[in-house]
Structure 1
Amino acid sequence: MILRMRIRIPQHRPPRYTARMTQPAPSLAERGFQSSPIAQLILAHRQIVQANDAAQRLFGYDAAAMVGQSARLLYSSQADFSLIGARAEKWLASHPGYEDQRFMQIADGTICWMRARGVTLTPQDPFALTIWAFERAEDRGERSVDLTAREQEIARHVVNGRTCKEIALELGISHRTVEVHRARLMKKLGARNTAELVSKIIVVS
């Protein structure tokens, strides 16, 4: 009598990995970016993809409040966001890097004068992927004379390339009033022309 037995041969199954097991450890480059003493942001089409620790301290937001948001979060107005963006995008289309000084807004609403430096990793589409570094201009000893609230307001528009007529329209004041404030700014800061004025404007919080 022949007995027939079915023997199941266990099949090898790969181990089930948990999310914790599959999450790779941060690379040296990633740790360096996150811990850099310079505030840095990685943007994709002007949306914040990563914000390092220094950027979180500079702007007053934690990563959860920044990542996934438009960089508009860091500007005091849509006009500034659009104008600066257009200027930077045009420059990056033919240059590897861009640098300027501009007003930016931190979490508590304070508007600060900052130096921004950016590079594109996608020259064919400049804003597809960019890396930006920021620092307060005041931190580099560039503080100047005190400006009145109106002078600071005028300065914010001057530095972003607006004419006296455009500023007057934006603020709802006369063209002549803007010219007077602009002249005072030039005198206070020792500027001989618009280019010098833009380079010397410092906001005093």
Structure 2
Amino acid sequence: MTVFTQQLKDLQRLAFKVSPAAQLITGDRVMLDCNEAFLELFGYPREELLGQLTLLIYPSQADYKTIGNRSRNWLLCSKTGSYSDERFMQHKNGEVFWARSQGYTLTPDDPFKLMVWHFERLDRAHHATVDLTPREREVSMHIVNGLTCKEVARKLAISHRTVEVHRARLMKKLQAKNSAELVSKIIFVD
């Protein structure tokens, strides 16, 4: 290997490591490598991620399975080799957050064999199949993270009664019978 070739490889490795975009390389949904921005986004040290299933950064096993099936099917039918969506992800501290993800397969015949992913944290949720107001989206993000109506009210600087009204509307729109079902439906709404 020439000195130039080695320098180029070193530069490429450095560019990946310090890129401001959170990037992850997976092989069959196992985390093979990630950059510093990814570690910061998800709150894990490198040694706790590498070799683990990406299930670790999903809020639930059901979400991991549903999104996995959807993305794999898309990649098998797509000629672009890329997939993107907006979804809930989970930080090491348990916080669930809304993120945009983009994946690129390097092995189109077996999409999950080798992929590169990019993640971006979004400030507010977008629910494609449910018509939520911006405030309902905002309230839903706090509910998913376990806040009570009074805690949400303090965070948003509104009355807890107003939060209760938004919560009731969310329950009606998502057809949830109780709080646990509401959280589940907020997380799994596509």
Mapping 1:47-196, distance limit 5 Å: 47-95=30-78, 96-138=81-123, 144-145=134-135, 146-148=138-140, 152=144, 180-182=172-174
CA distance, structure 1, for counterparts of residue 120 and residue 39 of structure 2: 12
The alignment partner of 1:123 has SS state of coil
Residue 178 of structure 1 and its aligned partner are, at CA, apart by 8.2
Gaps of 5+ in 1: 1-23, 154-176, 185-196, 199-205
Residue 31 of structure 1 and its aligned partner are, at CA, apart by 1.1
Gaps of 5+ in 2: 1-5, 125-132, 146-168, 177-188
Q: Is the 8 A contact 1:151 1:182 kept in 2?
A: no
2:15 pairs, out of 6, 24, 32, with 32
Paired residue type of 2:96 = I
State the identity as a percent. 36
CA distance, structure 2, for counterparts of residue 118 and residue 104 of structure 1: 15
> Which position in structure 2 is the counterpart of 1:43?
26
Count of aligned residue pairs for this structure pair: 137
Residue 134 of structure 1 and its aligned partner are, at CA, apart by 0.2
Residue 113 of structure 1 and its aligned partner are, at CA, apart by 0.4
Q: Is the 8 A contact 1:40 1:55 kept in 2?
A: yes
Q: Is the 8 A contact 2:97 2:141 kept in 1?
A: no
Residue 152 of structure 1 and its aligned partner are, at CA, apart by 4.2
CA distance, structure 2, for counterparts of residue 71 and residue 28 of structure 1: 27
Residue 149 of structure 1 and its aligned partner are, at CA, apart by 7.4
CA distance, structure 2, for counterparts of residue 107 and residue 88 of structure 1: 24
CA distance, structure 2, for counterparts of residue 64 and residue 98 of structure 1: 27
The structure whose Rg is larger is: 1
Residue 144 of structure 1 and its aligned partner are, at CA, apart by 3.4
Paired residue type of 1:122 = T
Q: Is the 8 A contact 2:96 2:144 kept in 1?
A: no
Q: CA RMSD in A?
A: 2.9
CA distance, structure 1, for counterparts of residue 94 and residue 36 of structure 2: 20
